[in-house]
C-alpha cells in the first residue's frame, strides 16, 4: 500500500528476490522526490526535476493497482480501496506515507493560501517559498517546526539557512530579523551535529526560540503566535514572510484500521522497530513515514529499511520461522547550511553519529557534501534506490 519511496523500492526488491505476484496500490500518477523541495524553496533547483510519471519508476512485473487504500482487514487478509476493490494478500507492506495536518494550527491553512506564507512540504508551494525569499529585502522572517514526528526533521531548519545565505550574498541579511521556532531544547538530537548547527545560526545571527511552537497564525494581520513550552509564555510575532511546517500524523484512514497502535496518538502502523513486522499481525510489515519505528522519518532511513523488509517478507513466504534481517534505526539528514555547504548528519537508534563515507570528517558542514545533496542523492534515488539496487 503506497508507491512512494518505500513502496517502489520494496516492490523492486521483492521482484528481484523472485516474488512474482506483487500488487502496488497507489492513487497518484506522479512520483515525487520530496528532498528536492528544500532546494526548490531555496532557489537551488527547479520543481519539475522532483516529479516523474509513476509508471516510469515502477519495476516492470509489478502490477499497479490504481486506487486509494482505505481499509484493512488483517484477519481476512484483505485491503479495501476507495474505488470499491477488495484485494487479498499473503503479505502486506504498509507504506502510504504521512499526513500533513494543516488544520491543527488555526490559521495555517489560510496562511499558505495568502501571499506571505509558504511551505516546502508541498510540491505546489516550494516555488512560492523561493519567490518570498527572493523578493525580501528587510523585515521579519519566521521559520517554524511543529512538535511530534515529521518527515525530514532537518527540513524546517535547512530552508532558514538557504534563505539566510541568499540574503547574506545580497547584502540584506543585516536588515532582516530571522526567527527560527523549534520545539526541541537543542538544535539537533545528536550533540555533535547540534554544536555545528549552533555555529551556523550564530554566523547568520538567527534568533532561535527553543521548546517553542507556532500555535496560531493571523494571515491578514501577518502575526504568528508562538508558545514557549518551557516557560508557558506566549508571544505574537509580526512577520513579513513565514515558512511553516505543519504537524503530521499517520493518514486518518490508517489510524482507523486495526494496524494502528492503540496507544499511539499518531496512529502509525505498529511494528517491531528491528524486524519491521507488525506486532499483532505477522503477515503485515510497514516501513517509511507510516511505520511506528522511532527512527527519523527520511528516505535515507527507507534505503536501509527496504532490504530488511524484503528479506523478512521473502523468508516468511518461504516458510522460515525466524526473521533474518534487522534494522538498526539508521537515518541521515543532509542539512543544507548554506547555498554551497551541507552537513550530512547520519545516526541510528543509539543517536551516535554513524558516518557511511570513510576518511572525511562529516560532523562538519562541507562543500563537497553540497554536491552529494544537489546531484549525488537525486541520481542515487531515481536510478538505484527505486530500482532496488541500493
- Which residues are catalytic, by number? 152, 333
Of 5 and 118, nearer to ligand FAD (C-beta) is: 5
Binding of residue 155 to ligand FAD (CB under 6 A) = yes
Of 97 and 316, nearer to ligand FAD (C-beta) is: 97
Is residue 90 within 8 A of residue 317, CB to CB? The reply is: yes
Among positions 14, 15, 22, 26, the unique one binding ligand FAD when judged by CB under 6 A: 26
Binding of residue 353 to ligand FAD (CB under 6 A) = no
Mapping DSSP onto H, E and C, the string for 343-372 reads EEEEECCCCCECCCCCCCCCCCCEHHHHHH
Binding of residue 6 to ligand FAD (CB under 6 A) = yes
Of 68 and 170, nearer to ligand FAD (C-beta) is: 68
Residue nearest to ligand FAD (CB): 4
Is residue 89 within 8 A of residue 78, CB to CB? The reply is: yes
* In the complex, minimum distance from the CB of residue 4 to ligand FAD, in angstroms, rounded to a whole number: 2
Among positions 37, 130, 193, 327, the unique one binding ligand FAD when judged by CB under 6 A: 37
Binding of residue 69 to ligand FAD (CB under 6 A) = yes
Handedness of CA 7, 8, 11, 16 (dihedral sign): negative
Residue 379's Cβ-side half-sphere holds a number of Cα atoms within 13 Å equal to 6
Which residue bears the cell 531548519? 157
Is residue 1 within 8 A of residue 93, CB to CB? The reply is: yes
Of 69 and 208, nearer to ligand FAD (C-beta) is: 69
Closest residue by Cα to residue 41 from 138, 139, 142, 124? 124
Applying CB under 6 A, the span of 234-242, 255-263, 296-304, 317-325 interacting with ligand FAD comes to: 296-304
Closest residue by Cα to residue 36 from 56, 52, 54, 25? 52
Binding of residue 97 to ligand FAD (CB under 6 A) = yes
Cell (9 digits) for 184: 526541541
Contact set with ligand FAD (CB under 6 A): 1-7, 25-28, 34-35, 37-38, 68-69, 95-97, 120-121, 151-152, 155, 251, 288-290, 297-300, 302, 334
Amino acid at each position: 500500500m503506497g508507491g512512494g519511496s518505500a513502496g517502489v523500492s520494496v516492490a523492486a526488491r521483492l521482484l528481484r528476490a523472485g516474488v512474482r505476484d506483487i500488487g502496488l496500490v497507489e492513487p497518484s500518477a506522479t512520483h515525487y522526490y520530496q528532498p528536492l523541495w528544500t532546494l526548490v524553496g531555496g532557489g537551488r533547483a527547479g520543481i519539475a526535476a522532483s516529479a516523474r510519471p509513476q509508471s516510469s519508476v515502477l519495476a516492470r512485473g509489478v502490477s499497479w493497482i490504481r486506487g486509494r487504500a482505505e481499509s484493512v482487514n488483517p484477519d481476512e487478509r484483505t485491503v479495501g480501496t476507495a474505488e470499491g476493490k477488495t484485494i487479498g494478500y499473503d503479505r502486506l507492506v504498509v507504506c502510504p506515507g504521512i499526513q500533513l495536518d494543516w488544520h491543527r494550527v488555526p490559521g495555517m491553512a489560510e496562511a499558505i493560501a495568502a501571499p506571505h506564507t509558504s511551505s516546502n512540504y508541498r510540491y505546489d508551494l516550494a516555488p512560492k517559498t523561493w519567490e518570498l525569499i527572493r523578493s525580501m529585502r528587510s523585515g521579519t522572517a519566521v521559520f517554524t517546526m511543529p512538535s511530534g514526528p515529521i518527515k525530514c526533521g532537518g527540513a524546517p531548519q535547512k530552508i532558514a539557512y538557504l534563505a539566510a545565505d541568499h540574503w547574506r550574498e545580497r547584502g540584506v541579511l543585516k536588515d532582516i530579523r530571522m526567527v527560527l521556532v523549534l520545539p526541541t531544547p537543542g538544535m539537533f538530537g545528536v550533540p555533535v551535529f547540534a554544536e555545528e548547527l549552533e555555529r551556523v545560526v550564530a554566523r547568520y545571527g538567527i534568533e532561535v526560540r527553543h521548546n517553542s511552537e507556532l500555535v496560531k497564525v493571523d494571515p491578514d494581520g501577518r502575526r504568528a503566535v508562538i508558545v514557549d513550552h518551557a516557560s508557558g509564555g506566549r508571544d505574537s510575532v509580526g512577520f513579513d514572510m513565514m515558512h511553516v511546517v505543519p504537524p503530521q500524523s499517520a493518514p486518518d484512514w490508517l489510524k482507523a484500521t486495526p494496524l494502528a497502535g492503540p496507544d499511539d496518538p499518531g496512529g502509525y502502523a505498529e511494528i517491531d522497530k528491528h524486524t519491521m513486522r507488525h506486532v499483532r499481525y505477522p503477515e503485515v510489515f510497514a516501513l517509511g513515514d507510516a511505520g511506528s519505528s522511532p527512527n527519523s522519518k527520511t528516505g535515507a532511513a527507507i534505503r536501509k529499511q527496504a532490504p530488511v523488509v524484503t528479506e523478512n517478507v521473502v523468508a516468511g513466504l518461504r516458510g522460515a520461522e525466524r526473521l533474518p534481517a534487522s534494522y538498526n534505526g539508521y537515518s541521515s539528514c543532509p542539512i543544507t547550511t548554506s547555498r554551497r555547504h551541507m552537513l550530512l548528519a547520519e545516526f541510528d537508534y543509539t543517536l551516535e553519529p554513524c558516518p557511511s563515507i570513510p576518511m572525511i570528517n562529516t560532523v562538519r558542514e562541507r562543500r563537497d557534501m553540497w554536491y552529494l545533496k544537489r546531484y549525488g542523492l537525486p541520481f542515487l534515488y531515481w536510478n538505484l534506490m527505486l530500482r532496488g539496487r541500493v
